Amino acid sequence: MPFEINEIHPTIIGSYPDADIDFALKTNINEQRMNLAQASYVSVTKISSGSSNWAITESAGTTEAVIDLDITIPLKSLVETFSDDWVELDKSGIVESAEETTQTVKDVKKESVLTLIEEIRKTKTIPYSEQIADRLYQLNEDVLEEYPENDLILPDSLSDYYRFLKINTNLSFPSISITSNGNIWVQWEQTVNHHFSIEFEGQGEVVFVAFAPDRYIPSKTNRASGIGTIYSVKDLIESSNVGDWVLIKDKAA
Amino acid sequence: MSNPSIPDTNHISRYCRPSKVDGETPQPPAFQLREEKGEDYLSVDWLEFLKEFKGGCDAAAITEALRKRGLKVSKGGRHAVFNVGDLRSYVKKRVPKKRMLDVRHVPRHEEDSHSGVYNYNHEESNFIAVLISQAIKEVLKP
More confident residue, A55 or A126: A126
pLDDT higher for A33 or A243?
A243
**CA-to-CA distance for A84 and B61, rounded, in angstroms?**
63
Residue B60 confidence (pLDDT): 92
Strand order of the β-sheet with B78-83 is: B102-105, B114-118, B42-46, B11-16, B78-83, B138-140
Question: Cα distance from A191 to chain B (closest Cα, Å)?
Answer: 9
Q: Does A200 touch chain B (CB under 8 A)?
A: no
pLDDT category at A123 given cuts 50, 70, 90 is: very high
A185 touches chain B (CB under 8 A): yes
| C-alpha distances in Å from residue A38, one per residue of A9, A25, A58, A59, A61 | 17, 16, 10, 8, 7
* Residue A48, helix vs strand vs coil: coil
Q: Is the pLDDT of residue A221 over 80?
A: yes
User: What does pLDDT average to over chain A?
Assistant: 68
pLDDT band at B137 (very low <50, low <70, confident <90, very high): very high
**For A182, nearest residue in chain B (alpha carbons):** B19
Q: Is pTM, for the whole model, over 0.80?
A: no
Per residue in A34-83, pLDDT tens? 333 233 334 444 444 444 344 444 444 333 222 233 333 333 334 343 43
Concatenated DSSP letters for A6-24? GG---EEEEE-TTTTTEEE
Mutate which of B14, B19, B134 to disrupt the A interface (most A C-beta within 10 Å)? B19
Q: ∠ CA(A106), CA(A68), CA(A151), 5° rounding?
A: 40
The ipTM of this complex is 0.94
Q: Is B110 helix (H, G, I), strand (E, B) or coil?
A: coil
- For chain B, give every domain's residue range: 11-140
Instruction: Pick the residue from chain B with its C-alpha nearest to A179.
Output: B29
What one-character-per-residue DSSP string does A181-192 give?
A: TS-EEEEEEEET
Backbone angles phi, psi at A72, to 5 degrees: -130, 130
Count of CB pairs separated by less than 8 Å, A with B: 64
* Contact status, residue B48 vs residue B57, Cβ threshold 8 Å: yes
A144 in contact with chain B, both atoms CB, cutoff 8 A: no
pLDDT digits (tens, 9 = 90+) for B38-96: 899 999 999 999 988 777 778 999 999 999 888 889 999 999 999 999 999 999 999 98
Digit-coded pLDDT (tens) for A237-249: 988 889 999 999 8
A170-201 confidence digits (pLDDT tens): 999 999 999 998 999 999 999 999 999 999 99
Tell whether A179 is within 8 A of chain B (Cβ): yes
Neighbours of A219 (CB within 10 A): 7
Give B-chain residues touching A185 at CB under 8 angstroms.
Answer: 27-29
State the pLDDT at residue A105: 55
A197 neighbourhood in chain B, CB within 8 Å: 28, 126, 130
Distances (CA, A) of A29 to A43, A44, A57, A253: 12, 13, 12, 48
